[in-house]
């Protein structure tokens, strides 16, 4: 009798729900880049070219990456892509702190938001890349 292939290890439910939450977060944020681009356009640093194109590309990357987290075949690649995206958009988050008054958002809120980027990066790493 031939040995059956080993069943894949079952993903812990906490990691699975974190993955679903991240997928929802990235897909939702990505869609907002298309339906309400104005807030994203305001935070593109002026040194960068083609803000409209950058907003659309980053939105598309968020949607594709978020959906990619849901499929085992694309999860790892999606994770690396989302990590690169999160690193790439961090300057816009820093730039946004300087716009606090113009955006009518308290500066402390924008400063408090900055540490969320590494936390998101850790979460993406945990659900998509880490093999533990």
Predicted confidence pLDDT, tens digits, the chain (132 residues) = 555 555 456 777 889 999 999 999 999 999 999 999 999 999 999 999 999 999 999 999 999 999 999 999 999 999 999 999 999 999 888 998 888 888 888 989 989 989 999 999 999 999 999 886
Q: What is the C-alpha to C-alpha distance for residues 15 and 85, in angstroms, rounded to an integer? A: 21
Is 132 within 8 Å of 15 (Cβ atoms)? no
Is 51 within 8 Å of 41 (Cβ atoms)? yes
What pLDDT score was predicted for residue 1?
53
What pLDDT score was predicted for residue 7?
47
What pLDDT score was predicted for residue 105?
86
Q: What is the C-alpha to C-alpha distance for residues 82 and 130, in angstroms, rounded to an integer? A: 14
Q: How many CB atoms lie within 10 A of CB 25?
A: 15
Q: How many CB atoms lie within 10 A of CB 30?
A: 21
What pLDDT score was predicted for residue 116?
92
Q: Residue written as tokens 């999160």?
A: 86
Among candidate residues 131, 98, 94, the one with its CA nearest the CA of residue 116: 94
Q: What is the C-alpha to C-alpha distance for residues 19 and 35, in angstroms, rounded to an integer? A: 24
Q: What is the C-alpha to C-alpha distance for residues 46 and 48, in angstroms, rounded to an integer? A: 5
């Amino acid at each position: 009798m031939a040995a059956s292939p080993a069943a894949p290890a079952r993903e812990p439910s906490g990691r699975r729900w974190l993955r679903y939450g991240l997928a929802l977060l990235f897909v939702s944020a990505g869609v907002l880049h298309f339906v309400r681009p104005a807030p994203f356009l305001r935070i593109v640093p002026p040194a960068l070219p083609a803000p409209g194109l950058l907003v659309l590309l980053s939105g598309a990357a968020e949607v594709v990456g978020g959906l990619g987290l849901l499929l085992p075949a694309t999860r790892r690649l999606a994770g690396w892509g989302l990590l690169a995206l999160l690193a790439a958009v961090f300057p816009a988050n820093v730039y946004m702190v300087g716009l606090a008054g113009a955006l009518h958002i308290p500066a402390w809120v924008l400063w408090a938001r900055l540490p969320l980027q590494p936390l998101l990066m850790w979460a993406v790493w945990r659900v998509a890349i880490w093999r533990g």
